[in-house]
Chains A and B, each alone.
Chain A
Amino acid sequence: MGLQMRIVLRDILRKKSLKNYYLRGQVEGFQFEVFLANYRGHFLSTMEQLAVSIDDQPVPKKDILFCLNGKEFIVDDLKNQSNEFWNIAVPATIKVRKPGGLEKGTHKVGLTLVLRNPYLPKPGSSEPHSYIPINSSDEQFLELG
């Protein structure tokens, strides 16, 4: 990726946050929490990549919901959210639709999360719209109790 920013001092994927979630009494899928690996927050429209894998299986984009500030966003809508601000002290919740959810035990959760640093243009770049990326990706074994 070349020049990038990344601050990994704590787990990006929050420990103990993996659980199944319910809709109308049925397990609709699973969810976990994510912190932004940066020293300042950003508007959601600066997110360039968001992908999830569970136990090494990629999750289809249509099954991912990014939840913040009391709202749920589909991945394709994040690029428009230039008024939703993600504070670094607040974790976002990522929901994955998977009827029946996950079994109890340890699961390998993979997160690809890349944002643009909207005030840090890539030095010397002649490409349009090129800013230094923030890499907030992570991979962890999380326990579902």
Chain B
Amino acid sequence: MTTKNHDIKLGVSLYSYQDNYYFHKHDLEGCIAAAAGSGATGIEAFAEMMMPEWPYISDRFVDLWNGWMRRYGVEPVAFDHFSDRGMWKNKELSDEELVERGKLYIRMAKKLGFPVVRVLHHEHIGRGISPYRLTDVKIVEQLLPLCAELDIMLALECHAPTTLHDPVHQQYLDMAERMGMPYVGLMPDFSMYEYCVSTADVGLAVRQGATREILEFYRNSQREAYFRGEPFIYEEIADQVEKMNPSDLDRNFIGRQNHMVGTGPESLEILEQYASKLVYCHGKFYDLDQDGQVDNIDYPKVIQALKKGGYKGYISSEFEGNRRMNDAGWVDEIEYVRRHQELMRKCLAD
């Protein structure tokens, strides 16, 4: 879907179709076909979810995979690496073992034609929260020579509540530069640009017993602050929330969301500054409103920043609403992704 004034392509993370896979409605080929049907040209996959032979991918499977790519007119764009550190009840993988595990993903990515391996570091959920190190800078350092040999780029997922210009991320880039091996780059997950809690989260919390009125008041206050162009300061509405007599569920919900969304979306100027150096993007979304907009992320502005900053690469739809809405009934992931691709195409054309 490349047009004249940008070099951005659109993909789908098959994570988006997890219920279809789980319920045996679509197998791996069916999910690839659904992604192609949405208009996307790229596929992000993760082996632990949908590759039946994992971790022993046979040549026979590689042939099948390549055949699907050709048949559906798509290409592999990113392969997800998990840091399964806690492999045994009383023992974690050592750093050496985690490095070997990392190499397995890199080799498999190469075998399946993926140019990028997504890596997770332990601070993607926020600083100082995780007691374990996942794929940290020491481990990435040992993976870079193999990446250089096989020409595989590691994409460090930068997730809310961290930011792109967080020192947590900079140390990876500094290390790659020191080594002269530019095979790790940053990958923003659009959760960083959430300006309010999603309707999908509100719905789920209400079904679990939280108070709709309070959660909607909270969400509306976040939205109003965003559209006024001001940071959202929870303390300014805390008194009003208290007057509504919140339950523990309501308080936990608000506490969690204050941690994730904070005072509002991360800076789009920073995104624009970083854009030309980014290696991949996750087009995260949970719900779409009736106008086809993501209900809590300003996609037109986010994509504009990437375009203006000269981002070259893929943005993949990563639908996470399924897990927030499927307790209430079937969530049509395929339709959600199709509409999301439509929105991103429109944003790119503008």
Give the B-binding residues of A (Cβ under 8 A). Answer: 7, 9-10, 39-43, 45-46, 48, 79-80, 82-83, 85, 87-90, 116-119, 121-126, 129-131
- Of B15-23, B294-302, B309-317, the one contacting chain A is B15-23
Interface pair A130/B87, CB less than 8 Å apart: no
Choose among A88, A117, A125 the residue that contacts B131 (Cβ–Cβ < 8 A): A125
* Chain A residues touching B, majority SS: loop
Contact mask for chain B residues 62-82; partner A; CB cutoff 8 A; 1 contact, 0 none: 000000000000000000001
Choose among B19, B52, B91, B129 the residue that contacts A9 (Cβ–Cβ < 8 A): B19
Chain A residues whose CB sits within 8 angstroms of the CB of B86 once the complex forms: 46, 116-119, 121, 129, 131
A130 and B132 CA atoms in complex are apart in Å by 9
Interface pair B18/A46, CB less than 8 Å apart: no
Q: How distant is A90 from chain B, measured CB to nearest CB, in Å?
A: 7
Q: Which of B1-60 contact A (CB under 8 A)?
A: 15, 18-19, 21-24, 27, 46, 48-50, 52, 54-55
Q: Is B92 an interface residue (CB 8 A)?
A: yes
A80 and B24 CA atoms in complex are apart in Å by 30
Interface pair A130/B323, CB less than 8 Å apart: no
Q: Which of B85-101 contact A (CB under 8 A)?
A: 85-92
Chain A residues whose CB sits within 8 angstroms of the CB of B132 once the complex forms: 121
Interface pair B122/A121, CB less than 8 Å apart: yes
Q: How distant is A47 from chain B, measured CB to nearest CB, in Å?
A: 9
Interface pair A126/B88, CB less than 8 Å apart: no
Interface centre among A42, A89, A116 (most CB of B within 10 A): A89
Chain A residues whose CB sits within 8 angstroms of the CB of B46 once the complex forms: 40
A41 and B80 CA atoms in complex are apart in Å by 14
Interface pair B52/A39, CB less than 8 Å apart: no
Interface pair A129/B89, CB less than 8 Å apart: yes
A116 and B132 CA atoms in complex are apart in Å by 14
Q: Is B261 an interface residue (CB 8 A)?
A: no
A119 and B122 CA atoms in complex are apart in Å by 9
Give the A-binding residues of B (Cβ under 8 A). Answer: 15, 18-19, 21-24, 27, 46, 48-50, 52, 54-55, 82-92, 120, 122, 125, 129-132, 134, 323, 326
Chain A residues whose CB sits within 8 angstroms of the CB of B55 once the complex forms: 83, 85
Chain B residues whose CB sits within 8 angstroms of the CB of A129 once the complex forms: 86, 89-92
Q: How distant is A18 from chain B, measured CB to nearest CB, in Å?
A: 20
Interface contacts beyond A43-B84, A46-B84: sample of 15 additional A-B pairs, CB < 8 Å, sorted by A: A39-B49, A39-B323, A40-B46, A41-B48, A42-B48, A45-B88, A48-B89, A82-B88, A87-B52, A116-B86, A119-B85, A121-B85, A121-B122, A121-B132, A129-B90
Interface pair B22/A119, CB less than 8 Å apart: no
Interface pair B22/A10, CB less than 8 Å apart: yes
A116 and B86 CA atoms in complex are apart in Å by 8
Q: Which 10 A-B pairs have the closest CB atoms?
A: A118-B86, A118-B84, A40-B48, A40-B49, A121-B132, A121-B130, A123-B129, A131-B86, A39-B18, A119-B82
Interface pair A82/B131, CB less than 8 Å apart: no
A24 and B288 CA atoms in complex are apart in Å by 59
Assuming the contacts A7-B323, A85-B55, A88-B22, asked whether A119 and B90 have C-beta atoms less than 8 A apart, the reply is no
Choose among A42, A82, A124 the residue that contacts B129 (Cβ–Cβ < 8 A): A124
A3 and B46 CA atoms in complex are apart in Å by 25
A122 and B46 CA atoms in complex are apart in Å by 23
Interface pair B326/A79, CB less than 8 Å apart: no
Q: With CB as the reference atom, state the residue of chain B lying closest to A124.
A: B129
A80 and B21 CA atoms in complex are apart in Å by 28
Interface pair A9/B87, CB less than 8 Å apart: no
Interface pair A119/B87, CB less than 8 Å apart: no
Interface pair B87/A89, CB less than 8 Å apart: no
Choose among A41, A118, A125, A126 the residue that contacts B87 (Cβ–Cβ < 8 A): A118
A69 and B334 CA atoms in complex are apart in Å by 31
A40 and B122 CA atoms in complex are apart in Å by 19
Chain B residues whose CB sits within 8 angstroms of the CB of A79 once the complex forms: 88-89
Interface pair A43/B52, CB less than 8 Å apart: no
Chain A residues whose CB sits within 8 angstroms of the CB of B23 once the complex forms: 9-10
Assuming the contacts A119-B120, A119-B134, asked whether A89 and B18 have C-beta atoms less than 8 A apart, the reply is no
Interface pair A130/B131, CB less than 8 Å apart: yes
Assuming the contacts A40-B49, A46-B86, asked whether A89 and B134 have C-beta atoms less than 8 A apart, the reply is no
A125 and B132 CA atoms in complex are apart in Å by 10
Q: How distant is B21 from chain A, measured CB to nearest CB, in Å?
A: 7
Interface pair B19/A123, CB less than 8 Å apart: no
